[in-house]
C-alpha cells in the first residue's frame, strides 16, 4: 500500500478558519500521534483525513457513533456491514450466524468484555462504550486507523493494552491523543497541532515529553 | 405579566372566543333536559349487558376494524415516511389527514356501500397520513453519528436497518400503540354512519330510550381501552393483525357499477354533467360557496375557537386532579378515573349523547370537545407536574397552583393546546353530521340529497380549512418556541 499525500487541508466554522491550509505526508507503516491543546483542531483534522481516505480507514470518532439500542455484538458487527449482502445483514439483526459470533466474541475477549456481548450499548459505562467502538474499528480491519482520543475513558492498564492492540492491528494509524506519554510510547511519529497549523513534526524516538509540553 | 408573549397570546384567544360567544347558538332546547340526563346516568349505573347478542358482536367488530385499519395505515405511513422529504408526498399526507375518518367513510359508503372495505379504508387512509408525518419526524431525530461511522459502501437498506430503526424503535412502537387506542375510538364512531361497530349499537339503543343498554356499551368500551396494556402484547400482535380481517363481518357486496358511476358521474359538478360547460360552473360554485360553504366555515370557526378556549380552561382545572402536589391517593385515583373516562369517550359520542339530552345547539358540541380534549391535555399536564420537585417550604393549595405549578407548565400546556387546535377543528366540522350547522352539516345534507358533487367540494373546503389552521397553529408554536410530542 502506498502512503498518503495530503495538501491544502482546510476547514472553517462559520467563516472562521480552524484548520490549515496545511499539508501532511503519511508513509505506509507510520503510526502518527496528533497532539495539541483541546480546540487546536485535532478532531477536525481527523475528520478531514477521513473524508479523503474514507474507503481504506477504520474510524473511531470521539462521539463513538454507537447505536444505543443495539447490542454490543451488533455494534461491532457494523464494522463489516459493507462486506455482506443485505439479506445476510438482515438475518444477522434478528439472529447472528455462529461464525460471526465467534469472531466478535474473541475480539471482545481481547478487550476484556465478553460477558457483555448481548447487552444494549445504552446500558454500558463510558469506558465500555469506548471499547465497543474500538472493537468495531478492529473488526472492520481496514489498512489505516483514524482514531480520535480512543482511550480517553479507559484506566491506565486498560489504556495500555488497548493501545497495543491498535498498534498491532493496523499497519498505518493516525491517532489524536492528549496523553503525551501514550503518544511517545505507541507511535513512531508525533505531529503537534497549534491554532490549526502543524507546529511540530518529528519522529517519536527523537522527542521527550518536555519537547511536546511547549504545545500546551 | 402582560408583557409575556404567552399570556398575550392566551388573552387574544380568550377575547376571540368571547366575541364568538355573541354569535354562537348556545342553548338548551330540550323540554326536560335534566330528567333525560338523570335517566341517562341511571342507565349507566344500571347497565344491561345481556339485552342482545348484538353488543358483543359490535365490540368484536370495533376491535377488528381498528386493527385492520391501523395496521394498513401504519404500513402505508411507514413507506410514505421514507419518502416524506418529497414535497408532493408531504402535501398528499397533509391532505388525506385533514379529512376526518367519518368523511372518508361517507365518501366510500357511496360507492363501496356497507362493505368492510369502507370502514377499513376510512381509518387506514387518514391514519397513513398521520403515521407518515410522525414516523418521519421520529426517523429524523435518530442520532446521525452511527451512520457516519459506517464503512463506506454499506448498502442503503443495511444502513437503515442498523442505524435508524433501532434508535427509533421504542418511540415508533409507543406511538403506534397510542394510535391503536385512537383507532378504537375512530372505529367505534364509524357505527354512526351505519358500519357494524359500537356507534351503531349506541345510536340504536338511544333512539329507543334503552339507556341501560347504552350504559353497558360505554362501560365495555372504557374497559376495552383501559385494559389495552393487558391484551395488546407484542407477542399477540401478529395473531390480532392476521386474525382481525376475518372478524370484519360480511357487509354487503361491492357493486362495481356504483364505483364507476361515482367517479364518472356523481362527483362531476352538475353544470358539467348537464353540458352547461364552464359558463355554468361559476354560478354553481358561487351558489355553493355563499349558501353552504361560507356559513359552514363561519360556524366551524366560531365553534372551534370557543371549544379551544373551553378545552384550555378544562385542562387547567383538571390537571390538579391527578397531580401528586394536591390531595391524597384516593382523590388522585378518582381523578385518574375521571380523566380516563373523559379522554376515552370520543367527542362524537359525547356530543351525540349531550345532543340527545339537551337538544340541538352548539352547547353540546362545545362541552363534548372541551371534556374530551381537556381530559387529554389535563392528563398530560398533570403527569408533567408530578415530576416537578418543589422546595420543601413551597406554598400549598391555591397559591401552589397559581404560583408554583401553572407558571412552570404553562408553555407546554399552550403547546398541547395549539397542537390540538387543528384536531378540534376537524372534529368541529364532523359534528355537523349531528345537526350543528358546521361544515359537516352541509356535507351530510348534500349527501342526503344525492348531490355528491357538492359534498366533494365541501369536503375539499373542510380539508383546506384544517390545513390552514394546522399551519397557523405550527406558526404560533414556532413563534412562541413551544415544543410538543404528537397526541391524537
Q: How do residues B309-323 score in pLDDT, each as one tens digit?
A: 999 999 999 999 988
Q: Do B163 and A82 touch (CB under 8 A)?
A: no
pTM, two decimal places: 0.83
Same domain, B83 and B109: yes
The CA distance from B105 to B121, in Å, is: 8
C-alpha cell belonging to residue B486? 404528537
Cβ-Cβ contacts under 8 Å for B434 (sequence gap 6 or more): B348, B351, B352, B355, B360, B365
How much is the ipTM here? 0.80
The CA distance from B80 to B164, in Å, is: 16
Handedness of CA B201, B447, B105, B283 (dihedral sign): negative
- What is the residue range of A25's domain? 4-213
Q: Is the pLDDT of residue B144 over 80?
A: yes
C-alpha cell belonging to residue B431? 359534528
Backbone angles phi, psi at A8, to 5 degrees: 65, 35
Span B358-412, pLDDT tens digits? 888 899 999 999 999 999 999 999 988 988 888 888 888 888 888 888 999 999 9
Chain position carrying cell 407518515: B132
Q: Which of B242, B266, B290 is the last residue of a domain?
A: B266
**Residue B42 in domain:** no
Min distance A30 CA to chain B CA atoms (Å): 22
Rounded to the nearest 5 percent, the helix, strand and coil shares of chain B are 80, 0, 20
Beta bridge partners of A26: A4
**Residue B38 in domain:** no
Cβ atoms of B376 and B487 closer than 8 Å = yes
Min distance A216 CA to chain B CA atoms (Å): 29
**Residue B41 in domain:** no
Same domain, B125 and B236: yes
Burial annotation B350-383 (CB, 10 A radius, 16+ → b, else e) = bbbbbbbbbbbbbbbbbbbbbbbbbbbbbbbbbe
**Listed residue (A182, A203, A190, A201) closest to A35, CA to CA:** A190
Cβ atoms of B373 and B424 closer than 8 Å = yes
pLDDT above 90: percentage of residues in chain A? 37
**Listed residue (A172, A168, A149) closest to A46, CA to CA:** A149
Same domain, B351 and B252: no
Same domain, B212 and B347: no
Nearest to A81 among B143, B148, B150 (CB): B150
**Residue B48 in domain:** no
Residue B3: CATH number of its domain: 1.10.3720.10
The CA distance from B88 to B102, in Å, is: 25
Cβ atoms of B321 and B382 closer than 8 Å = yes
Same domain, B262 and B353: no
Q: Do A69 and B155 touch (CB under 8 A)?
A: no
Average of per-residue pLDDT across B112-132: 94
Span B160-199, pLDDT tens digits? 999 999 989 989 998 998 899 999 999 999 999 989 999 9
Work out how many domains chain A is built from and give that number.
1
Residues (pLDDT < 70) of chain A are 1-2
The reported pLDDT for the residue numbered A2 is 61
**Residue B4 in domain:** yes
Same domain, B70 and B140: yes
Contacts of B172 in chain A (CB under 8 A): none
3-state secondary structure of A199: strand
The CA distance from B343 to B50, in Å, is: 26
**Listed residue (A128, A119, A127, A137) closest to A78, CA to CA:** A137
The reported pLDDT for the residue numbered B148 is 84
Q: Is the pLDDT of residue B333 over 70?
A: yes
Size of interface A-B (CB pairs under 8 A): 75
The reported pLDDT for the residue numbered B487 is 63
* Structure confidence at residue B485 as a pLDDT band (50, 70, 90): low
- What is the residue range of B284's domain? 1-30+273-488
Angle, CA B341 vertex, CA B179 and CA B351 arms, to 5°: 85
**Residue B43 in domain:** no
- Residue B432 is given by DSSP the state G
Measure CA B87 to chain center.
25
Same domain, B368 and B439: yes
Least confident among B32-36, B155-159, B342-346, B445-449: B32-36
The CA distance from B137 to B270, in Å, is: 42
Q: Which of B241, B266, B291 is the last residue of a domain?
A: B266
**Residue B39 in domain:** no
**Residue B117 in domain:** yes
Q: Do A80 and B151 touch (CB under 8 A)?
A: yes
Work out how many domains chain B is built from and give that number.
2
The reported pLDDT for the residue numbered B484 is 64
Chain position carrying cell 340541538: B360
Q: Do A61 and B161 touch (CB under 8 A)?
A: no
A15 to A10, A51, A100, B318: CA distances (angstroms):
12, 20, 46, 52
Same domain, B233 and B375: no
Chain B's closest residue to A63, CA to CA, is B145
Min distance A213 CA to chain B CA atoms (Å): 32
The reported pLDDT for the residue numbered B486 is 63
Chain A's closest residue to B161, CA to CA, is A90
Cβ atoms of A65 and A133 closer than 8 Å = yes
**Listed residue (A174, A167, A136) closest to A45, CA to CA:** A174
Residue A45: CATH number of its domain: 3.40.50.300
Amino acid at each position: 500500500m502506498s502512503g498518503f499525500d495530503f495538501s491544502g487541508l482546510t476547514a472553517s466554522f462559520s467563516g472562521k478558519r480552524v484548520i490549515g491550509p496545511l499539508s501532511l505526508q503519511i508513509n505506509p507503516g507510520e503510526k502518527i500521534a496528533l497532539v495539541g491543546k483541546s480546540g487546536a483542531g485535532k478532531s477536525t483534522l481527523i475528520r478531514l483525513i477521513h473524508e479523503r481516505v474514507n474507503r481504506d480507514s477504520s474510524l473511531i470518532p470521539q462521539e463513538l457513533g454507537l447505536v444505543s439500542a443495539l447490542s454490543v455484538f451488533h455494534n461491532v458487527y457494523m464494522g463489516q456491514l459493507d462486506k455482506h449482502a443485505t439479506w445476510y445483514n438482515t438475518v444477522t439483526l434478528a439472529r447472528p450466524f455462529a461464525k460471526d459470533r465467534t469472531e466478535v466474541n474473541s475480539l471482545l475477549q481481547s478487550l476484556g468484555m465478553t460477558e457483555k456481548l448481548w447487552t444494549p450499548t445504552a446500558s454500558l459505562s463510558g469506558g465500555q462504550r469506548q471499547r465497543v467502538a474500538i472493537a468495531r474499528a478492529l473488526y472492520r480491519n481496514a489498512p489505516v486507523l483514524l482514531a480520535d482520543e480512543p482511550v480517553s475513558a479507559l484506566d491506565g492498564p486498560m489504556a495500555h493494552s488497548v493501545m497495543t492492540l491498535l498498534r498491532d492491528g493496523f499497519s498505518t494509524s493516525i491517532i489524536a491523543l492528549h496523553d503525551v506519554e501514550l503518544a511517545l510510547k505507541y507511535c513512531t511519529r508525533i505531529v503537534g497541532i497549534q491554532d490549526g497549523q502543524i507546529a511540530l513534526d518529528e519522529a517519536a524516538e527523537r522527542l521527550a515529553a518536555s519537547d511536546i509540553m511547549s504545545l500546551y | 405579566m402582560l408583557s409575556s408573549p404567552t399570556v398575550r397570546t392566551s388573552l387574544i384567544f380568550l377575547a376571540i372566543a368571547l366575541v364568538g360567544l355573541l354569535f354562537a347558538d348556545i342553548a338548551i332546547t330540550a323540554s326536560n333536559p335534566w330528567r333525560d340526563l338523570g335517566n341517562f346516568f341511571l342507565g349507566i349505573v344500571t347497565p344491561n349487558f345481556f339485552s342482545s347478542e348484538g353488543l358483543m358482536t359490535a365490540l368484536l367488530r370495533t376491535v377488528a376494524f381498528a386493527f385492520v385499519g391501523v395496521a394498513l395505515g401504519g404500513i402505508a405511513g411507514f413507506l410514505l415516511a421514507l419518502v416524506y422529504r418529497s414535497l408532493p408526498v408531504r402535501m398528499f399526507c397533509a391532505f388525506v389527514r385533514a379529512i376526518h375518518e367519518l368523511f372518508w367513510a361517507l365518501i366510500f359508503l357511496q360507492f363501496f356501500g356497507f362493505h368492510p372495505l369502507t370502514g377499513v379504508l376510512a381509518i387506514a387512509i387518514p391514519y397513513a397520513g398521520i403515521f407518515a408525518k410522525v414516523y418521519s419526524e421520529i426517523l429524523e431525530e435518530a442520532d446521525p453519528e452511527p451512520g457516519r461511522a459506517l464503512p463506506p459502501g454499506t448498502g442503503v437498506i443495511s444502513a437503515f436497518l442498523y442505524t435508524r430503526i433501532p434508535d427509533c424503535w421504542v418511540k415508533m412502537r409507543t406511538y403506534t400503540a397510542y394510535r391503536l387506542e385512537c383507532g378504537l375510538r375512530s372505529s367505534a364512531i364509524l357505527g354512526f354512519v351505519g358500519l357494524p361497530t359500537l356507534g351503531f349499537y349506541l345510536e340504536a339503543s338511544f333512539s329507543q330510550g334503552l339507556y341501560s343498554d347504552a350504559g353497558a356499551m360505554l362501560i365495555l368500551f372504557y374497559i376495552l381501552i383501559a385494559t389495552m396494556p393487558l391484551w395488546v402484547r407484542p407477542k399477540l400482535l401478529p395473531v390480532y393483525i392476521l386474525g382481525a380481517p376475518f372478524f370484519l363481518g360480511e357487509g354487503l357486496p361491492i357493486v362495481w357499477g356504483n364505483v364507476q358511476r361515482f367517479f364518472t358521474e356523481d362527483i362531476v359538478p352538475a353544470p358539467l354533467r348537464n353540458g352547461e360547460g364552464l359558463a355554468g360552473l361559476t354560478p354553481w360554485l358561487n351558489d355553493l360557496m355563499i349558501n353552504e360553504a361560507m356559513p359552514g366555515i363561519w360556524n366551524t370557526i366560531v365553534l372551534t375557537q370557543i371549544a379551544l378556549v373551553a378545552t384550555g380552561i378544562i385542562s387547567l382545572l383538571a390537571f390538579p386532579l391527578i397531580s401528586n402536589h394536591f390531595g391524597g391517593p384516593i382523590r388522585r385515583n378518582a381523578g385518574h378515573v375521571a380523566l380516563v373516562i373523559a379522554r376515552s369517550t370520543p367527542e362524537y359520542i359525547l356530543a351525540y349523547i349531550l345532543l340527545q339530552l339537551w337538544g340541538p345547539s352548539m352547547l353540546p358540541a362545545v362541552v363534548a370537545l372541551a371534556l374530551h380534549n381537556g381530559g387529554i391535555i389535563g392528563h398530560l399536564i398533570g403527569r408533567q407536574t408530578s415530576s416537578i420537585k418543589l422546595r420543601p417550604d413551597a406554598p400549598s393549595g391555591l397559591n401552589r397552583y397559581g404560583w408554583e405549578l401553572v407558571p412552570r407548565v404553562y408553555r407546554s400546556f399552550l403547546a398541547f393546546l395549539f397542537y390540538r387546535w387543528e384536531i378540534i377543528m376537524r372534529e368541529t366540522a364532523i359534528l355537523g353530521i349531528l345537526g350543528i350547522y358546521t361544515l359537516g352539516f352541509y356535507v351530510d345534507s348534500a349527501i342526503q340529497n344525492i348531490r355528491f358533487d357538492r359534498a366533494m367540494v365541501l369536503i375539499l373546503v373542510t380539508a383546506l380549512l384544517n390545513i390552514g389552521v394546522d399551519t397557523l397553529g405550527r406558526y404560533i408554536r414556532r413563534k412562541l418556541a413551544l415544543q410538543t410530542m404528537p397526541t391524537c
